[in-house]
Every structure is written in C-alpha cells, then in structure tokens.
Structure 1
Amino acid sequence: MSTITPDPTMEAISRAVVQGRAGDTSAARQQLLTLWSTIGVTGDPLHRCTLAHYLADLHEDPAQALAWDIRALDAADATTDARTQQHHAGLHIAGFYPSLHLNLADNYRRLGSFDAAGEHLTAAEAHTPDLPDDAYGAFLRTALAEVAEAVSRRDVSKRASAPGPAA
C-alpha cells in the first residue's frame, strides 16, 4: 500500500479553488497565477494540470479560459497514474480527460469555433468509459449533452451549469 504524502502545492490550489467558489474570483485567480509562476511551465505536470484546469474556470472570457484549458490538457498528457496516485490512491489520469475535453469543447463553442468544439466533444465521449459511475460522472455526462446540444444550435452563450464566475 502506497503512502500519500501531503502536497503543499495541491493544498494551496485547493484553498484558492474554495475561495473562488465562494465568490472571490479575483483573489483566487491571483493566488493561482502566483502558484503558476512558482511551478513554472516545466514543473510537476499534476500541479500544472490541476492549477490550469481550475484557473480556466475563474475566467469569464472564453478565450482566456481556453488558454488555461489547453495548458491543463497538455499537462495531463505528461502526467502518469503513478504521479496522480501519489496525490490520491486509486486516481487515474484517464479520468481527467472527459472534463478536460468538455471544457475545451465548451470554450471553442463559446468562441464560435463549432468544428473544434465537435472534435473535443468526440474526444470527451471517447473517454466517458473512464468516468466513475457516481454523481460526478453523471454531472459530466449531462454537461457533455448540454454542450453537444448547444453546438448543434450554434449557441455561443454561457451555459447556466458551466463552472466559473457568474455572468
């Protein structure tokens, strides 16, 4: 059985996420940006993936969110199961991909790039077997259906269920 070691960077990311979800998005963004400058673009991929994923949610502008979501996906590609399991036993990097591709699809959709959105929806769907059969998995499956429907309507408005600051 592996021992989970406390990770001050992941704890700092979590604190900023909580602050952002409590409504202080500006302070949360600043904390995450400060952490990003410490981690660096070649730092621990799990840290980069997690931070970029949550930082994207703190941007109302889909172009800014897209930039962070691309960084999150790139970092996920460099992360291993062994590394994710140092953070949380039983965690697999494959389970990250449905959410990462969903966010990219939604950003591209909001920017009116419907073909790119469709490509990421297809990628997200390919990874849905990696989702847990729980409330989180159900939430992501519902969000994927919402984004697919919005793409089919060529709707660029923010989804009510999308993470991030209120419009």
Structure 2
Amino acid sequence: MTTEDKTMKRIEEAMLLQHTGDLDGARQRFTEIWEDIASDGDPFHRCVLAHYMADLQQDPQDELAWDLRALDAAASVTDDRAKQHDSSLAIRGFYPSLHLNLAADFHKLGDTTQARTHLAQAQEHLDALNDDGYGQGIRSAIQRLAGQLAEEDPTTLKSADTK
C-alpha cells in the first residue's frame, strides 16, 4: 500500500483551480506550495508545480524562469519517482513538453536561436510520447511552432520538417 502524497494532492488541487479558470487562486496556491517545497523539495513536485505555474505567468520572462525551474527539477527525477505518482509515467516523457514550453518562451522573447535549440530537443524526445491525446497534442504543438519558426526564417529550420 502506498502512502498518500499530500504535496501532490495540493498541486493537483491548484491545477484544478487553473483548469476551471481561477487563475489568481491557482497562482496563489502554487506560490504557497512552492514556498513549502522550493529549496529542498522533491524534484518531482518541483517539476510539476513549476511546469503549471509557468502557464500562469503574464510576463514572458517570468514564464521562462518557471519553465527553466521545471526543466532543472526534471533532471533530478527518476523513473521510479515518477512511477510512484502514476505507474505509466517515465521522466523522459516529460521532456518533449518541457522543451516545447521553453522553445515557445524563447520565441515570445525574440530569441529564435534558443527557441530552435529547445524545439530540436523536444523533437529528440518525441519517441518517449505515447500515441494518445496528450502525445498527439504535444506533437501538434511542436509542428505548429516549427512552422512559425520556419516562416520567420525558412533557411534555418529544414530539419524540423523531417522529424
């Protein structure tokens, strides 16, 4: 029998607020949880929280900072730890989304070099995604961003069309 992950339960409650449109409530709840876990907390918790907190930021620089926190935390998460939350999870499956978000952040900030770098890293991890709604959504978003970057400078993104 596994013990209840109270921190993950709190994160999921904040995610629910976010999904139901209470963005201020979600941001406040995520902030409270972050203050409890940030410095030495479970990297899985930090990764998930930062990933969702990034979406609540109005300033692209703040969004980038949270997405970088998510990626940094992911580097310390093991598959065993991810599976404690959901037996179907593997941390490698987080990377397409994490890098896609960073690519989008850099694109918003006008740093197309970094946007392309993270887009390529997202594409390198596509094999970790299942062929389900989530995986299809990430693949579609990667294709859309690749298309936007190609329109801006078609000479530098030819490899994105072949993956």
Q: Provide structure 2 residue ranges, at least 5 long, that are not aligned to the other structure.
A: 154-163
Aligned to 2:125: 127
Moved over 6 A (4+): none
Q: CA RMSD in A?
A: 1.3
Q: Give the partner amino acid of 1:139.
A: G
Query: Could you give the per-residue CA deviations for residues 100-139 of structure 1, whole angstroms, max 9, x where no partner exists?
Result: 0000000000000000000000000000000011111100
Residue 60 of structure 1 deviates from its aligned partner by 2.6
Q: 1:4 to 1:134 in 2, by over 3 A?
A: farther
- The 8 Å contact of residues 41 and 48 in structure 1, kept in 2 or not, is answered as no
Could you tell me which residue of structure 1 aligns to residue 157 of structure 2?
none
Q: CA deviation at 1:152?
A: 2.3
TM-score normalised by length of structure 2: 0.90
Separation (CA, whole Å) in 1 of partners of 2:152 and 2:76: 33
Q: Which residue of the partner structure matches residue 94 of structure 1?
A: 92
TM-score (norm 1): 0.88
Q: Look at both structures and tell me which one has the larger radius of gyration over its CA atoms.
A: 2
More moved, 55-64 vs 131-140: 55-64
Secondary structure in structure 2 of the residue aligned to 1:59: coil
Q: 1:43 is matched with which residue?
A: 41
Determine if contact 1:4/1:87 at 8 Å carries over to the other structure: no
C-alpha distance after superposition, 1:27-67 (max 9, x if no partner): 11011011000002321000000000000011132211110
Deviation at 1:4, TM superposition (A): 4.0
Match of 2:104 in 1: 106
CA separation in 2, counterparts of 1:64 and 1:137? 26
Q: Partners in 1 of 2:128 and 2:2 — Cα distance?
A: 23
Flag the structure with higher helix content.
Answer: 2
Aligned-pair distance for 1:151? 1.9
DSSP-derived class of the 2:146 partner: helix
Paired residues, number: 153
Greater RCO, 1 or 2 (C-alpha within 8 Å, sep 6+): 1
- For residue 73 of structure 1, what is the aligned residue in structure 2? 71
Q: Does 1:62 align with 2:55?
A: no
Q: CA deviation at 1:22?
A: 1.2
State the identity as a percent.
Answer: 47
- Contact persistence 1:57–1:65 (CA under 8 A): yes
Distance in 2 separating the partners of 1:108 and 1:17:
24
Structure 1 unaligned runs (5+)? 156-167
